[in-house]
């Protein structure tokens, strides 16, 4: 029997009278890389923010790491969760090391956690540089380092390759692929680069206009010689 690190039950979130997401049922198996896909505005970021307790649902419920997410236990769950949602937020006048020290204090972590995270993302040699002098790729890797601190059981990454050149995308792809085994963790990653998700994900969930239209093994979604991008476009066409 599969063990799930995330389960949602008819999860809903409104914006005014309109649903951002409606009746979303996620089931994310432990230890996998779960590609969370959908067109712009489909509800991916809204769902991820709900899973982190950053916003509250208007209907349904969710369990994260075996506990029901609520304002009461959000902090307990988030100490075992790492995330990078939208663009990473940093203090540009501080160094990479100093930015991670802020997160370490919040999560009650030590210097060894900072060092491990910086080494994992390949920034240890640049830890004393001010973040304002980092390239976009370095900032994205620093954001992932923040997410990895404390060796979390669950890591949620929203568009981690956004704006990167091919070399930067390749670096992030290889980094994400290594996380489940290196950290004994589960990764949820959203991306509009479907060819990248195709190379790293075990499971995929596709959301369109706030509704889940597919969830399951990537290998079961791809039919014949069709790519993930081709299947995705066919599934979301006119929906």
CATH level 3 topology of 4-80+154-236: Rossmann fold (3.40.50)
Whole-number pLDDT of residue 47 = 95
Whole-number pLDDT of residue 223 = 61
The tokens describing 95, both together, are 């160094």
pTM: 0.91
Whole-number pLDDT of residue 234 = 81
Q: What is the 3-state secondary structure (H, E, C) of the chain?
A: CCCEEEEEEEEEEEECCEEEEEEECCEEECCCEEEEECCCCCCHHHHHHHHCCCCCCCEEEEEECCEECCCCCHHHHHCCEEEECCCCCCCCCCEHHHHHHHHHHHHCCCHHHHHHHHHHCCCHHHCCCEHHHCCHHHHHHHHHHHHHCCCCCEEEEECCCCCCCHHHHHHHHHHHHHHHHHHCCEEEEECCCHHHHHHHCCEEEEEECCEEEEEEEHHHHCCCCCCHHHHHHHHHCCC
User: Residue 86: CA atoms inside 13 Å, Cβ hemisphere, count?
Assistant: 8
Whole-number pLDDT of residue 229 = 80
Spatial contact of 93 and 48, defined as CB atoms under 8 Å apart? no
Residue 43: C-alpha distances to residues 122, 172, 204 (Å): 32, 23, 15
Whole-number pLDDT of residue 56 = 94
Q: Give dist(CA 13, CA 23) in Å, integer.
A: 9
Whole-number pLDDT of residue 230 = 81
Q: Each residue's pLDDT tens digit in the chain (239 positions)?
A: 469 999 999 999 999 889 999 999 999 999 999 999 998 889 999 999 999 999 999 999 999 999 999 988 998 898 899 999 877 788 999 999 999 999 899 888 899 999 999 999 999 999 999 999 999 889 989 999 999 999 999 999 998 888 888 888 888 899 999 999 999 999 999 988 888 888 999 999 999 999 999 999 988 876 667 778 888 788 887 55
Spatial contact of 142 and 71, defined as CB atoms under 8 Å apart? no
């Amino acid at each position: 029997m599969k063990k799930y690190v995330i389960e949602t039950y008819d999860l809903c979130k409104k914006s005014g009278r309109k649903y951002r997401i409606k009746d979303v049922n996620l089931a994310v198996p432990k230890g996998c890389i779960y590609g969370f896909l959908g067109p712009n505005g489909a509800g991916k970021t809204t769902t991820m923010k709900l899973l982190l307790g950053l916003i509250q649902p208007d209907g349904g419920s969710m369990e994260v790491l075996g506990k029901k997410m609520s304002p009461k236990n959000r902090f307990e769950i988030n100490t075992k969760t790492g995330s990078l949602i939208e663009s990473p937020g940093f203090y540009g006048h501080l160094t990479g090391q100093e930015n991670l020290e802020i997160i370490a204090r919040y999560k009650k972590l030590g210097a060894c956690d900072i060092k491990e995270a910086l080494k994992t993302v390949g920034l240890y040699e640049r830890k004393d540089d001010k973040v304002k002098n980092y390239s976009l790729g370095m900032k994205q890797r620093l954001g992932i380092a923040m997410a990895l601190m404390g060796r979390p059981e669950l890591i949620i990454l929203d568009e981690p390759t956004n704006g990167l050149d091919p070399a930067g995308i390749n670096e992030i792809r290889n980094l994400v692929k290594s996380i489940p085994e290196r950290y004994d963790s589960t990764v949820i990653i959203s991306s509009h680069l479907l060819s990248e998700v195709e190379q790293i994900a075990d499971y995929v969930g596709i959301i369109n206009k706030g509704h889940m239209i597919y969830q399951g093994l990537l290998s079961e979604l791809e039919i014949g010689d069709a790519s993930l991008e081709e299947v995705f476009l066919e599934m979301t066409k006119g929906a």
